[in-house]
Amino acid sequence: MSATPHKTKPLQSVVQETVARCREVGLRRTKALEELLTTLLESARPMTLAELAASTRLADQCDKATVFRLLQRLVEHGVVRRLGLHERAAYFTLLVPGKHNDYLICTSCGTIEAIKAPCPVHHLEDEIRRKTGFQNLYHELEFFGVCPKCVPA
Amino acid sequence: MSATPHKTKPLQSVVQETVARCREVGLRRTKALEELLTTLLESARPMTLAELAASTRLADQCDKATVFRLLQRLVEHGVVRRLGLHERAAYFTLLVPGKHNDYLICTSCGTIEAIKAPCPVHHLEDEIRRKTGFQNLYHELEFFGVCPKCVPA
DNA sequence: GTAATTGCAAATACTTTGCCACGTA
DNA sequence: TACGTGGCAAAGTATTTGCAATTAC
């Protein structure tokens, strides 16, 4: 339709699609919602509540409590996922249909990067779903270690 | 040597082996150390600091801060691993050489159980180690879902 | 004897809630 | 107008630390 790069959908269109998903489950279209979704989508990695609340798009936009409650609603409706990632603070990531990420985390400097390799867990996940009867099954896979930069010479 | 069940090593001997490992890295043999290791070993699943401090073996034995610092030292020396497991509180599990566990967790009732199936991630882990140069690499794999008991009829 | 370990109390860190004002539908 | 949202401030929960007393080696 338009001059979009052929590999990636333009950011704004994904944001609007996601807003639409939110509207369908009964959430209202607010400035804070759009900014939050955009911020999450722009980020290559999961972010903490503190990071989100302090980010450019949200800092003057709204209170930390607002971001918290917004995230809460989004998690509840399956638009955002809350991750552990070993830190004291929780991390949040946008669930874009068809996109799945596992992470590689440096236990020394805390850097988080998404792993590109295909996730080898889906088969086991199907098996568990079948054998245990768990519903809404999903997994979280993280690799921890000390990255080259942090390894002492 | 003695009348040990042939499948599983007797608990006390594993505890003593672990205490020995601790001694080697410079930790002192204290009552709290032995009780903590025994408690972790007896538990089929990871435990939180609060659970550990309140457990039968430790409740009257020592302060929560002591358990905390003990766990801290054990993690530092690779005897215990700290896990995220999606809750607000951190979970701890004893690292017994040759034993590895992934977990299946009910997001509704919080039940945690170890998965028996062989972990399908080791190959990817080796690949990451090779390609990225990360040191001390390990992974954490958890499945989340709603267990049959918690699924509304 | 000396350094590691412990208890108790106090300080942090991050999350969560109450209550009333406000904006979207 | 009505109900979902937002701001501000206060309360909660889990973790972490200071310091003097104790214990293992």
| Residue B88 pLDDT | 93
Roughly how many angstroms between the first and final C-alpha of chain A, as a whole number?
Answer: 53
DSSP letter for each residue of B99-147: ---EEEEETTT--EEEE-SPPTTHHHHHHHHHHH--EEEEEEEEEEEE-
| Residue A68 pLDDT | 98
| Residue B7 pLDDT | 59
Across chain B, what does the average pLDDT equal?
Answer: 91
Owner of token pair 């972990």:
B119
Contact A109, A149 (CB under 8 A): yes
Contact B11, B38 (CB under 8 A): yes
DSSP conformation class of A106: E
Q: What does the domain layout of chain A look like in residue ranges?
A: 5-145
Q: What is the pairing mode between strands B102-106 and B135-146? A: parallel
Q: Which nucleotides of C are covered by protein (CB under 7 A)?
A: 4-10, 13-18, 23-25
Q: How distant, in Å, are the alpha carbons of A38, A123, A126, A141, B148 from that of A131?
A: 38, 12, 9, 21, 11
CA separation for the pair A52, A94 (Å, rounded): 12
Task: Identify the CA nearest to B136 among candidates B72, B77, B96.
Answer: B77
Q: What is the mean pLDDT of residues B12-23?
A: 95
B5-145 is a CATH 1.10.10.10 domain? yes
Residues 15-34 of A with CB under 7 A from strand C: 23, 28-31
Question: Tokens for A128?
Answer: 């568990």
**Which residues 21-40 on chain A approach chain B with CB closer than 8 angstroms?**
none
- B12 vs B22, more confident: B22
- At residue A27, the 3 state secondary structure works out as coil
**Tens-digit pLDDT profile for residues B55-94:** 999 999 999 999 999 999 999 999 999 998 899 999 999 9
**Which residues 113-152 on chain A approach chain B with CB closer than 8 angstroms?**
115, 117, 120-121, 123-125, 127-129, 132-148, 151
Percent residues over pLDDT 90 in chain B: 80
DSSP conformation class of A29: -
| Residue B99 pLDDT | 85
Q: What are phi and psi of A102, to 5 degrees?
A: -110, 160
Q: What is the mean pLDDT of residues B32-53?
A: 96
Cβ–Cβ gap B143/A151 under 8 Å: no
Mutate to test the interface with A, among B48, B105, B134, B138 (most CBs of A within 10 A): B134
List, in sequence order, the alpha helices (H) in A79-142.
122-132
Q: Identify all chain A residues contacting B130, using CB atoms and an 8 Å cutoff.
A: none
| Residue B151 pLDDT | 85
CA separation for the pair A74, A24 (Å, rounded): 12
Q: Shortest Cα distance from B126 to chain A (angstroms)?
A: 11
Q: What is the pairing mode between strands A47-48 and A135-146? A: unpaired
Task: Mark the ranges of chain A whose per-residue pLDDT is less than 50.
Answer: 1-6
| Residue B8 pLDDT | 65
**Tens-digit pLDDT profile for residues B111-133:** 999 998 888 999 999 999 999 99
Q: What is the mean pLDDT of residues B123-144?
A: 95
Q: Shortest Cα distance from A2 to chain B (angstroms)?
A: 38
**Which residues 99-118 on chain A approach chain B with CB closer than 8 angstroms?**
104, 106-107, 115, 117
Tell whether the model's pLDDT for residue B36 goes beyond 90.
Answer: yes
For chains A and B, CB pairs below 8 A equal: 106
| Residue B98 pLDDT | 81
Cβ–Cβ gap A129/B117 under 8 Å: no
Contact B39, B52 (CB under 8 A): yes
3-state helix, strand, coil in chain A (%, to 5): 40, 20, 40
Whole-number Å distance, CA B25 to C1' D25?
14
